[in-house]
Chain A
Amino acid sequence: MEDTEIIDLFWLRNEQAIRETDEKYGGRCRSVSCGIVSDPETAEECVNDSYLALWNAVPPERPRFFPAFLFRIVRNLSFDRLRARLAAKRGGGEGERILGELDACLASDFSVERELETKELAAGISRFLHTLPREDRLIFSYRYWLMLPVAEVAARLGRKENTVKSSLHRSRKKLHAHLVKEGLL
């Protein structure tokens, strides 16, 4: 079924919309979530919560890129779960490692008052990602959007772990320079 037809079903408040969404994108939704929360059961819950969020968001929304809209919800709800786990210090695992990497790269003198709006920062990050060669961009996104372990990034992209690590190192340095240049850091 075409995405526009699925969106029409949501607008008609037809529950078939959820089944069609799951049929078409369920596998990838679970893959996105599982990468972040590292637990199939929690991932399943996140995907179900995402479908509910989607149901509540459409209408009034009519997403231009339906899958991107959906995957973003899945990713962010999964990240919320990870964040709760980190806050409770209940085995953040990969999340803790990722935070450690980023803390070193993002250290700044910014005060709380100058804390940026997330949207503004997201736009800056998007611009930065577009400047990277595709392979580096994918590696960066797999690590910090999907939050995958380095070994899994390497396996999924068919690269050596060292290649992935050095790409991430380069990209974080470029990110720092980019954010400074844009006045975001």
Chain B
Amino acid sequence: MKALHFLDAMGQIDDELVMEVVSSMKINEKGGAHAAGKKKNIVRIVLIAAILTCFLSVTAYAASDLIGSPEMALAAVEEELGVWEEMGIIVPQSPLLLDSDEVRVTRCEEERDLGGYFFHRILKPRYDVQIPREDGWLQCMIDMADGKIYEVAFTANADENDPAVGDAIEWESGTAWLRDNVCELVPEGQTLDELCALLCEYWGFAGYSIDFTNDVFYGYEDVQFDGGTLVSELWRGPYVTVYFEGDQEGVPMYIELQGFAYPGKSSSCLMIGTNHAVG
């Protein structure tokens, strides 16, 4: 086969692929600018710079998005979830119910969308995607700029076959038992070191350090973690603070595994939050 023949055939790849390539070129949409000549370019650049100065606070969050529509955000979630499963960050999850009325995709790029709450320290333009699964729920923040997950919460609902742990929990509406179904989220035997190393690989960080957690509000004061700690052991314990080395100097990340129990329902939830593209 000749390379020219291959490049000819590349010109006939399917529409979806063509649109993916061209959509991702938004940042270079005015490619024709090259044709305008140097002087015209200088004028253009000065004008653009002036406009950018005026709107910097908003446009800084709106630039060069790879993910530009709710459909693309949903496709990105499916794909990135597959990557996480393949890498072994998370165990394979039950199917996403993409046709459900409960699917929510919210574009968050205005300042009001980026106002902080607990897990957010430095916030990036993103799609907040919520999708029910056959036996749980997925909430996932997709970075508009590179289409990667930068915050995620996996929830897996337990069933009566999962072992009850601890005492019964009394609620006004009834009694609940916490059931251990962490195996539906965390790979067996995975340590904090292994999880952090995989996250480093996914986000392209150079390294990480696991910090102590000092959170009086939650009753955790100076809890020191060991990289050898099993992730599954974090269940019902404090969250872990991690500093990744690379492009997000000094921004803490969190890894938390929790169990919830309400009458008739028990779930485990793994949350991983990051601001990986800052800097």
Q: Which residues of A contact B (CB under 8 A)?
A: 26-28, 30-35, 40-41, 43-44, 64-65, 67-69, 71-72, 75-76, 79, 83, 86, 98-103, 106, 108, 110, 115-116, 118-119, 121-123, 125-126, 129-130, 133-135, 137-138, 141-142, 144-147, 156-158, 179, 184-185
Contacts and interface: CB of A to CB of B under 8 A. Distances in A.
A34 B34 contact: yes
Q: Is the interface of B mostly helix, strand, loop or mixed?
A: helix
A137 B20 contact: yes
B17 interface: yes
Interface in B130-169: 145-147
A108 B15 contact: no
A115 B31 CA distance: 36
A40 B20 contact: no
B9 A26 contact: no
Interface string B30-64: 11101110000000000000000000000000000
B28 A144 contact: no
In the complex, the 4 A-B pairs of residues with the closest C-beta atoms, listed nearest first: A31-B31, A40-B35, A30-B32, A102-B3
Nearest to B76: A134
Interface of B: 1-22, 24-25, 27-32, 34-36, 66, 76, 79, 83, 145-147
A145 B18 CA distance: 9
B29 A118 contact: no
A138 B14 contact: no
25 contacts: A31-B25, A31-B28, A32-B22, A44-B35, A65-B19, A86-B4, A102-B6, A106-B2, A122-B12, A125-B10, A129-B13, A133-B83, A134-B20, A134-B76, A135-B146, A137-B20, A141-B20, A144-B6, A145-B11, A145-B17, A145-B21, A156-B25, A157-B24, A158-B145, A158-B146
